[in-house]
Structure 1
Amino acid sequence: MGVSERYRDAWEGYWSATSDTPGEAIWDADPALSSVPDSALLLPYADTSLPVVDLGCGNGTQTRYLATRFARGTGVDLSHAAIAHARRADTEGVAEFAQLDLVDAEAVAALHERIGDANVYMRAVIHQSDAEARPAVAAAVTTLLGERGRAFVAELTPDSKAVLQRMAQGPDGPPEKLRRVLDHGLNPVSATEEEVPRLLRAAGLTTLADGDTALAQTAYLPDGTRLDLPARWFVLAATTAVG
């Protein structure tokens, strides 16, 4: 089992049409605005002697930072083109990158078998996944954690959808970075706020800490302020590890 062909092609098309320029992807924020504060929330709960896996790593910007905070870092993404971007950007070889379909339970289990229990970082993956794929995405987190790993998961809330809709309906239409997302058939913020914690619980994950945040983007509002999208974060462990 894997993601739909439509979904796979949408992401492959997006990353194939994206240059190596940092920040060209709307979500490719500087780590100082994303994985740095995110990992500060995770680290009090995590064993840093374990590796970290960045799920939906894209061009690897966050993976490269995370690899400096844990024993080693691995970034995985559905898109082969994204992984090619990530490998080119990692000029110092601080992390490793691999193509992985999170909906493919056997492939996820094989990764866990290879690296052992791991910490997980997942930023805004569930919300844009096809509805039928979301339980498997959450289950992938549980598989990779095993007994010892801990996860940081952040997902956009419906308030973000309203922000993006207002941007798209402006007099000049959506800004170029958002237009590229929409033109490739990607659907941001399609999960409800209640759905995400429900999916996490159903996947066998227990919330150790959570809170509200905003995910920094690389696009700007007409008044020049950076686009920050409302989100919720969770630090998680496998329920079997804390039960």
Structure 2
Amino acid sequence: MSVSERYRQAWESYWRETSDVPGDAIWDVDPSLGAAPHLDLLAPHADTSLPIVDLGCGNGTQTRYLAARFGRTLGVDLSQAAVEHARRADPAGAAEYRRLSLTDTAAVADLARRLDDANVYMRAVIHQSDAADRRPVAEAVATLLGRRGRGFVAELTEESKAVLAKLAGSPGGPPPKLRRVLDHGLRPADAADKEVPEVLAEAGLEILADGPTALAQTEQWPDGSRVELPARWFVVSRA
């Protein structure tokens, strides 16, 4: 099974038209607002001597933070343009980066064999995947975890759709960073709230801990406050 060509091209064109300036992508927040608090939730459950894989790494901002706290760190993304952004932003090579479709089960299995058991970090990938791809994405997490790995998964909730609609309805229309997401045909907050835990369970994952959170964005409301999207986090292992 492979990801739809429409979806792959949408991400490829999005990242090709994104600059190397930090924060140019709406979700490209400083790790103090992303991976740092997420690792605080994952750490009590995880063996940090294992490698960690950042699934949907984008331009690698969070990946580089993870690399300072884990031994071997690998960022993977569907988009080759995103992988090239990540490599340019990491001249010291703190982490490795490669293109990978999470629905390519053979490629995921090959990576799992190379890494052995690994931890996984995945922020906001299931909710904007095509519906048919959501379970294969969750299965990729399970494959990479193996027996000893633990995963951190954060996904937007349905409530965030209303927040995005409000933002899109700002005076003057959607602000530039959100407009680019919409113009490229990307669909944030597309999964129902009950679907995410169901998909994780169907993929053979056990939820060890979970709770509500908000995913900070680099866009602002007209009053200058930061846009935050309602989300839920899960720490998972193989069942």
TM-score by length of 1: 0.98
Output the CA distance in 2 between the equivalents of 1:202 and 1:41.
23
The equivalent residue for 2:217 is 217
1:218 counterpart SS class: strand
1:117 counterpart SS class: coil
1:183-214 residue CA offsets vs partner (Å, 9 max, x unmatched): 00000000000000000000000011100000
The equivalent residue for 2:113 is 113
* Counterpart code for 1:8: R
RMSD, aligned α-carbons? 0.5
Taking the TM superposition and a 5 Å limit, the aligned residue runs for 1:1-243 are 1-239=1-239
Output the CA distance in 2 between the equivalents of 1:118 and 1:173.
43
Contact 2:170 2:222 in 1 (8 A): no
1:72-101 residue CA offsets vs partner (Å, 9 max, x unmatched): 110000000000000000022100000000
* Counterpart code for 2:147: E
Unaligned stretches of 5+ in structure 2?
none
Contact 2:142 2:204 in 1 (8 A): yes
1:128 counterpart SS class: coil
Output the CA distance in 2 between the equivalents of 1:101 and 1:108.
8
TM-superposed CA distance for 1:169, in Å, is: 1.6
Contact 2:160 2:189 in 1 (8 A): yes
1:126 counterpart SS class: coil
Output the CA distance in 2 between the equivalents of 1:75 and 1:136.
18
* Counterpart code for 1:79: S
TM-superposed CA distance for 1:171, in Å, is: 2.2
Output the CA distance in 1 between the equivalents of 2:85 and 2:182.
21
TM-superposed CA distance for 1:135, in Å, is: 0.5
TM-superposed CA distance for 1:170, in Å, is: 2.0
Unaligned stretches of 5+ in structure 1?
none
Output the CA distance in 1 between the equivalents of 2:175 and 2:136.
32
1:15-38 residue CA offsets vs partner (Å, 9 max, x unmatched): 000010000000001000010000
Contact 2:33 2:216 in 1 (8 A): yes
Output the CA distance in 1 between the equivalents of 2:195 and 2:56.
19
Segments ≥4 residues shifted beyond 6 Å: none
1:155 counterpart SS class: strand
Output the CA distance in 2 between the equivalents of 1:124 and 1:82.
15
1:41 counterpart SS class: helix
2:127 counterpart SS class: helix
TM-score by length of 2: 0.99
Quote the sequence identity (%): 67
- Name the count of aligned residue pairs: 239
TM-superposed CA distance for 1:71, in Å, is: 1.4
Output the CA distance in 2 between the equivalents of 1:107 and 1:41.
29
